[in-house]
Every structure is written in C-alpha cells, then in structure tokens.
Amino acid sequence: MIRPAFRLLSRPARLTAAFGLALLTGLPALADDAKPAPDASRIVSIGGAVTEIVYALGEEKRLVGRDSTSIYPAAAGSVPDVGYMRQLSAEGVLATNPTAILAVEGSGPPEAVALLEKSGIAFLTVPETFDIEGIAAKVRAVGHFLGVDAKAEPLATRIEADVTAAVEDAAKRPEAERRRVLFILSTQGGRVMASGTGTAADAIITLAGAVNATPDFPGYKPLSDEAIITAKPDVILMMDRGGDHGASNAELLAHPAIKLTPAGDKAAIIRMDGLHLLGFGPRTASAVRDLNAAIYEGQNHVAQ
C-alpha cells in the first residue's frame, strides 16, 4: 500500500519523501525525472549556424560530420560532409559513427530525421527563430547539449548584446527614409521567387533598418510581373550563389518587370553570402551592419 500512496503525493512531496527515505536506508535520493547527460564526444552538426556555434564554443574537435551548408569557418570544410540539411540520408549520417546529432529545426526529410531520432543516438533539434532571442537560445541549447553551459552563457550574452547594438544603430534612420528591399530567392525558369513574411530574409531586412517590399504573403512565392512593379523595390537583395538558382546582374536588370522598378533603374543589387545573411548565428550582428551599409551607403560588395 505504500507505493500507491507515494504516487498520490505531489512531485515536490515525492522528492522530499525520497530524500527522507534515503537518509533512513542509505540509498541515493534521485529525482524521478533525472536523465543522464548525452555522450556528445562524436557529433554530427546539421545546419550552418549550428556548426558555427560549435566552433564559437571551441568544441569543434568533437565534429565527425556536418551538412553541406556548414561552410564557415573554412576549417569546417575538412569535416566529412553528410549531405544537404533538407535532403539527408540517415545511413549517410550514421556512417560517421556519431554519439550525438545536432540538427537545426527544419532539417529533413522527415523520414530520415525520424530514423535518426529512433536510432538510439542522442539527438537534439535546435529551435530556429529569426530574432535576437532565438540566436541566443540556439547557443544555449547547443552548449547545454554539449555540457559546456559555462562557455555557452557568456557567448550567448555577448552575441545578444552585439546584435542588439547593431539593430539599434540601424533603427536610427527615420521611417520615411527606409528603403524597400526585394529579396529574390531564385529566378529559375525566369520566375522571380521572392520572400514574404516569416522568413529569415524578411527578418534580416527588418533588423537592418529597411522594409520588405513584398509583405503581403507568408513564406516564399513566385511573383507576377505586375506584383514586382507594384512592390517598387529600391534595392534587390540576393544570396551570392551560382547554379540554376543564380542570375547575373545583367540578367536581373534585363527582366521586363525589374527594369521598371527603382532598383532596376539604379541597378541597385546587393549580394551576400547566404549563411552570413540568413544563418541567424554568431555572425548576425555583422550581417545586420553589412546589409545596412550596402542598402544605404551603396556598398554593394559586402564583406562575408
């Protein structure tokens, strides 16, 4: 009868009773929800910002794998590549023989992530939000998982203060002078895929003291020529990349709708490294300052 009665107690009362029992019996008083720390001696890091955080914490020697978006710092290039974060193969990740996996929210496909979570290997989904608090939360989450809270807390505090200062500087410009920015994700097939709200692009534009020129839809969507002209962007912003998703400045300015916008008329095109611009990691303060300077001071060749 003692066991059922014990379970009816509140959790604090159960812990108190357990501690009292320990004093009488010599048994250790363990919290009923205590979990052992994960073995994070060999980690795979999925997500460029997550990998940057591992390096910023000085814990890069634990890395046995990283995804293809993890290209900063340059030293990350020597770590085995397990594939693109949204097209992971569970077998490819497990082939690195990790003891723990760090994956930014949104990694996939879901089937591969589910297999990794069920593999018995310690797995942490790092939350992804596009704000100052979210960056600090990433740092703390990664640091706690790696067992280095004492290093993570000052890093998170320092990054948070730096980004806050950069945003406050950017916000000093009067509302009436803020420029409209059209973020183009791709121009594949001649269709302009632009950013609406709730995206990393929308957030970084706002933090840099500018205005998203297409705020009337969530996520990303292809724009009609009429929508591009109506948006009246002062500046076009793109990730600096090639391949099928890339377009030269000449190709952009030849687009029949873009050339009718203020950005097209002034050839105002900014290109930035995608991870630097949209990673929302340790370098976000730098991204805010660089983007602000590019938008308002015409510094189109932005530091990465």
What's the pLDDT tens digit per position in 86-98? 999 999 999 999 9
254-259's contacts with Cβ under 8 Å and 24+ in sequence apart are 255/187, 255/190, 255/192, 255/228, 256/225, 257/192, 257/223, 257/225, 257/226, 257/228, 257/229, 258/192, 258/228
Q: Which domains does the chain have, with CATH numbers?
A: 1-28 (no CATH), 43-169 (3.40.50.1980), 175-297 (3.40.50.1980)
Both tokens of 59, joined, read 């814990």
- Tell me the per-residue pLDDT of 131-157, one tens digit each, with 9 for 90 and over: 999 999 999 999 999 999 999 999 999
pTM (predicted TM-score): 0.85
Distance CA 195, CA 21 (A): 60
- Tell me the per-residue pLDDT of 148-191, one tens digit each, with 9 for 90 and over: 999 999 999 999 999 999 999 999 989 899 999 999 999 988 89
Cβ within 8 Å of residue 118, ≥6 positions away: none
Q: Which residue has the tokens 């009362």?
A: 13
Length of the chain: 304
Residue 35: per-residue pLDDT: 64
Return the minimum-mean-pLDDT range out of 7-11, 132-136, 269-273. Answer: 7-11
Cβ within 8 Å of residue 87, ≥6 positions away: 108, 109
Flag whether pLDDT at 10 surpasses 70: no
- Tell me the per-residue pLDDT of 17-76, one tens digit each, with 9 for 90 and over: 444 444 444 444 444 445 677 899 999 999 999 999 999 999 999 999 999 999 999 999
Residue 37: per-residue pLDDT: 76
